[in-house]
Structure 1
Amino acid sequence: MKARALLALGTLGAIALLSGCGAVAPLQAWGLIKAADTAGTTAMAYAPGKAVNTVHHGEPVMSSLCIEYNRMTPLEDLVPALQLELREQGVASRVYESGSGQQECRYWLRYAVTIEWGTPPLSSGYRAYLSSAALSLHHANGSLMASSAYAVDSDYGTSKWSTTRRKLAPVVKAVITGFTS
């Protein structure tokens, strides 16, 4: 939201300069407009993600859980991002292959993600980015405790180029605590 306000403010200031309200030449003012647009677009593209479609059944926060490793997810920073955010919520975690570690774990975190490719602002090369993620928290018997998801904002793509951790932070918080803000 702050990025949009900065973009609007920068653009309005540049328009005022173009209209003769300032001492800056029109070409310099046009450069200011382009710079404000680039800065605003870049800031918007790196905004944090937000949790959507959260369901939480009021379970208390656990002290530890196990993460079921999903081999179908080729993002190398995904599991470390999950573990760091769990630690921020006071939850220790261990990672296990699907089907292993059943006796050691009372709670399981499972995830599914979608990865897309694109070119970040001010860059010329393609790179993969997390475009959606779904997390679900289960008891050892498989019953669902909580679930939440992340998806790139379809209007402006405000979190598209944020780090995986910034995208997942509100989703992890929502799954663990039930709070989405």
Structure 2
Amino acid sequence: MAMRALPRPMRAALLATTAAMALSGCGVLSPLPAWELVKATGTATSTALATAAPAKASNTVHHGDAPVKTLCIEYNRNAPLEDLVPAMQAELRGQGVESRVFEPGTGLQQCGVWLRYVATIEWGVPPMASGYRANLSAASLSLHRSDGTLLASSSYQAEENFGLARWAGTRNKIAPVVKALITGFES
């Protein structure tokens, strides 16, 4: 693959890594320049991970109902990714929708619209890290009226991009799905 075909952050990380390997810690006056280059490589890699392959919503169904202004999120204990619900709530606020979180089966009289979700979580060791970390690999969100009528649904599925896309933040992955769920438009 040509270097130009790589996203800019990945090119920067690759160039910094190549330069660091060429120096191999041998500085003429001091090893500090080589150390600074290694640190810069880590920063470039972190930047590449944060911006790798923008997530996309897919399989969106939206029935064109009036815009939702408040909803309740039914907490799913089978999707224990600690930043998933906060990420959904932040993106909902960005769409002008207020939300509250309830355990399944509670709050039924308090909410006219429910967001339900399922998620697949994978574990792995990110580049430049030493321990395992959970990451969101797939998610499906759906909006329902309190009587169970489906208002909208949308999904996210991780796409491989040199293995870096899987380490993007949960909020980056879920943002287009929440937007599609509320607006009906995939981005």
Length-normalised TM-score, structure 2: 0.75
Match of 1:46 in 2: 50
- The range that moved more, 150-159 or 2-11, is 2-11
The amino acid of 1:81's aligned partner reads A
Please state whether the residue corresponding to 1:103 is helix, strand or coil.
coil
- The range that moved more, 134-143 or 151-160, is 151-160
| 1:79–1:9 CA distance, 2 compared to 1 (3 A) | closer
Query: Alpha-carbon deviations, 1:64-94, whole Å to 9, x = none?
Result: 0010011112111111111111101000001
Task: Give the alignment's Cα RMSD to 1 decimal.
Answer: 3.3
The amino acid of 1:172's aligned partner reads V
Query: Alpha-carbon deviations, 1:38-85, whole Å to 9, x = none?
Result: 888655543342211111111222110010011112111111111111
1:3, 1:44 within 8 Å by CA — same for their partners in 2? no
Match of 2:82 in 1: 76
Length-normalised TM-score, structure 1: 0.77
2:72, 2:113 within 8 Å by CA — same for their partners in 1? yes
Pair 1:121 & 2:141 matched: no
| 1:9–1:88 CA distance, 2 compared to 1 (3 A) | closer
* Equivalent residue in structure 2 for 1:130, among 115, 127, 136: 136
| 1:101–1:10 CA distance, 2 compared to 1 (3 A) | closer
| 1:124–1:60 CA distance, 2 compared to 1 (3 A) | same
Tell me the CA shift for residue 10 of structure 1. Answer: 8.4
Give unpaired runs (5+ residues) of structure 1: 13-23
* Equivalent residue in structure 2 for 1:61, among 51, 64, 67: 67
Pair 1:178 & 2:181 matched: no
CA distance in 1 between partners of 2:184 and 2:163 (Å): 25
Tell me the CA shift for residue 2 of structure 1. Answer: 8.9
1:159, 1:167 within 8 Å by CA — same for their partners in 2? no
Match of 1:159 in 2: 165
- The range that moved more, 119-128 or 151-160, is 151-160
2:70, 2:97 within 8 Å by CA — same for their partners in 1? yes
Match of 2:96 in 1: 90
Q: Say how many residue pairs are matched.
A: 169
CA distance in 1 between partners of 2:5 and 2:43 (Å): 12
Tell me the CA shift for residue 154 of structure 1. Answer: 3.2
1:51, 1:149 within 8 Å by CA — same for their partners in 2? yes
Match of 1:142 in 2: 148
* Equivalent residue in structure 1 for 2:112, among 100, 106, 119: 106
| 1:11–1:169 CA distance, 2 compared to 1 (3 A) | closer
- The range that moved more, 3-12 or 84-93, is 3-12
- The range that moved more, 106-115 or 46-55, is 46-55
| 1:2–1:53 CA distance, 2 compared to 1 (3 A) | farther
